[in-house]
Amino acid sequence: MAHLRLGDAAPNFDAVTTDGDINFYDWAGDSWVVLFSHPADYTPVCTTELGRTAALGGEFQKRNVKPIALSVDDLEDHKGWVGDIEETQGTAVNFPIIADSDRTVANLYDMIHPNADNTATVRSVFIIDPNKKVRLTLTYPASCGRNFDEIVRIIDALQLSDEYNIATPVDWQDGDDVIIPPSVKNEDIAANYPKGHTEIKPYLRTTPAPNK
**CA-based nearest residue to 139, from 152, 126, 151, 149:** 126
Catalytic positions are 46
In CATH terms, the superfamily for domain 14-146 is Glutaredoxin (3.40.30.10)
**pLDDT tens digits, one per residue of 3-27:** 889 999 999 999 999 999 999 999 9
Do the strands 65-71 and 32-38 form a parallel or antiparallel pair, or are they unpaired?
parallel
What pTM does this model have? 0.92
**pLDDT tens digits, one per residue of 73-106:** 888 889 889 999 999 999 999 999 999 988 899 8
Looking at residue 156, the DSSP 8-state letter turns out to be H
Q: Sketch the domain layout of the chain as residue ranges.
A: 14-146, 165-207
